[in-house]
Amino acid sequence: MKRQKIVTFGELLLRFSKPGQLRLTQGDIFTSKYGGSEANVAVSLAIQGDDVTYITRLPDTPVGHAGTMNLAQLGVDTSQILYGGQRIGTYYFEPPAGMRAAKVFYDRTNSAYSDLKPGMIPWRKILKDCTYFHVSGITAAISQQAADATFEALDIADELGTTICFDINYRKNLWRYEGSAPRETLSRMLAHCDMMFGDAIEFEWLSQHPQPPFTATDSNFTMQMKEYGEWFDELHKQFPRLKNWMMGMRNIVNSNHHTLTALLWSEGELLQAPIMNIPDVVDPVGVGDAFMGGWLHAIKLFPNDKKMQLNYSLAAAALKNTIPGDFNLSTEDEIMTVLQEQL
C-alpha cells in the first residue's frame, strides 16, 4: 500500500505530573512526557505506518532536542523542525480519581513556538506532494504571530491543492493575547478546511447550537440521530467547503469508566459508530488526537467505506484510553483487533 505524506503543525509541549494519583500540591517528584495535539496526531500516524512530518519551533537546548529525539524514535520525520526562542511550552496535568476531575494548567507564555512568525517556515517545500495538512485551533491560540503563521500555511496549502484537516481543539485558557477572537479566528480557519474533528462540546461552542445529550452509561444508549443530522446540516450551510465532519462524544461515568462514540457526517450522510464501554481508563489525554490519527489512516485503509473509517477511528481513540501519556502508541494491527472484536 502506497504511503501517503501527511504534515502536522503545532506546538510540542512538555507535560508534568506527580506520580500515581497525587495532586500537583503533593509530593516532591514530577514525571515528564512530551506531547501536544498535533504531535500526538503525528505519532499516531507514524505508529500506524504513515509518512508523517511534524512542524514546530523548539528552543535550541537539550530539552528542545530531547523532544525532537522522542518524536524521531517513534518514526516521525522531524527534519523540518525549527530551533530558536527561549523555552519549550509546558503543561501540568493532575489525573482524575473517583469523583475528582482532571485538571490542566498551561505554561506557554514566551515559548519558542509563540514567537513563530510568517516567513520562518518554508511551506512550499514542506507541503510539496503532501496529501494531508493537519492543524488545530491551538495552532492559532498561542499568540498573534503564531496565528499569522498558521494562516500563511493554510493559504499555501490551499494554493497547492492539499487536503486540509482541522481539529477544533478550543481551549479557553489559551486565548490570552491582545485582540484574540477565538470563534472568529477558528471560523476563518474552518473556511480553509476540507475535513474536521471535534468533540460535541466544541461543536456546541463553535456553532452556539445546543447539543443533544450524550449520557450513555453502557452501549444500550439511544442516540438522537434526527437532531444530530439537523445540526450537521446547519453546520454545513455555515461552512460549505467542509464535506466531512467527525464528532467524538464521551460520557464520564466516573474517573476510570467512560463511554465513547462518534458520528461522521459525509456529504449529507450521517453515520453512527457503536458506543464503546471503557471500564478501565488509564489516561484520557489525547483521545481526540487518536480519533484524528485513526481517521486519516482509515481513509487510506478503507477509501470507499465511510462506516469502516468511522469505526476504525473510534477503535483507535478507545485504545488511547489504555495508554499513559499523550501519544497513542497503538499499531494498525492492534486497532484492527479492537475493531473486529468490539465493534
pLDDT at 98: 85
> From CA 115, how far away is CA 110, in angstroms rounded?
7
Strand partners, 261: 249
Instruction: Quote the DSSP letter at residue 323.
Output: S
Torsion of CA 331, 196, 138, 179, to 10 degrees: 180
From 7, 26, 12, 117, select the one nearest 58 (Cα to Cα): 12
pLDDT at 24: 96
Query: What pLDDT, on a 0 to 100 scale, did the predictor assign at position 2?
Result: 56
Cell, residue 313? 477511528
Sorted by sequence, the CB contacts under 8 Å of residue 184 that are 6+ apart come out as none
Question: What's the CATH code of the domain at 107?
Answer: 3.40.1190.20
Per-residue pLDDT of the chain (343 residues; tens, 9 = 90+): 556 899 999 999 999 999 988 999 999 999 999 999 999 999 999 999 999 999 999 999 999 999 999 999 999 999 999 999 999 999 999 999 888 889 999 999 999 999 999 999 999 999 999 999 999 999 999 999 999 999 999 999 999 999 999 999 999 999 999 999 999 999 999 999 999 999 999 999 999 999 999 999 999 999 999 999 999 999 999 999 999 999 999 999 999 999 999 999 998 999 999 999 999 999 999 999 999 999 999 999 999 999 999 999 999 999 999 999 999 999 999 999 999 998 7
Q: Distance (Å, rounded) from C-alpha 164 to C-alpha 201?
A: 22
pLDDT of residue 4: 84
- The amino acid sitting at 143 is S
Q: Let me know: does 247 contact 263? Beta carbons within 8 Å.
A: yes
Q: Are 15 and 326 in contact (CB under 8 A)?
A: yes
What is the DSSP secondary-structure string of 198-225?
EEHHHHHHHHT-PPPP---SSTTPPP-H
Let me know: does 178 contact 147? Beta carbons within 8 Å: no
The pLDDT of residue 342 is: 80
Q: Of 276, 274, 275, 283, whose CA–CA distance to 256 is shortest?
A: 283
Q: Exposure string (b/e) for 53-84, b if CB count within 10 Å is 16 or more?
A: bbbbbbbeeeebeebbebbeebbbbbebbbee
Distance (Å, whole) CA 298 – CA 267: 17
- The reported pTM is 0.97
Q: Across the chain, which distance is largest between two alpha carbons, in Å?
A: 54
d(CA 243, CA 130): 19
What pLDDT is attached to residue 3? Answer: 66
| Rounded Cα–Cα distance for residues 265 and 295 (Å) | 13
Q: Please, are residues 16 and 30 in contact by the beta-carbon 8 Å criterion?
A: yes
* Distance (Å, whole) CA 171 – CA 47: 27
322: which residues sit within 8 A by CB, 6+ positions away?
A: 280, 281, 282
Q: What is the pLDDT of residue 1?
A: 52
Q: 509518512: which residue's cell?
A: 51
Domain residue limits at 322: 5-342
Domain count, the chain: 1
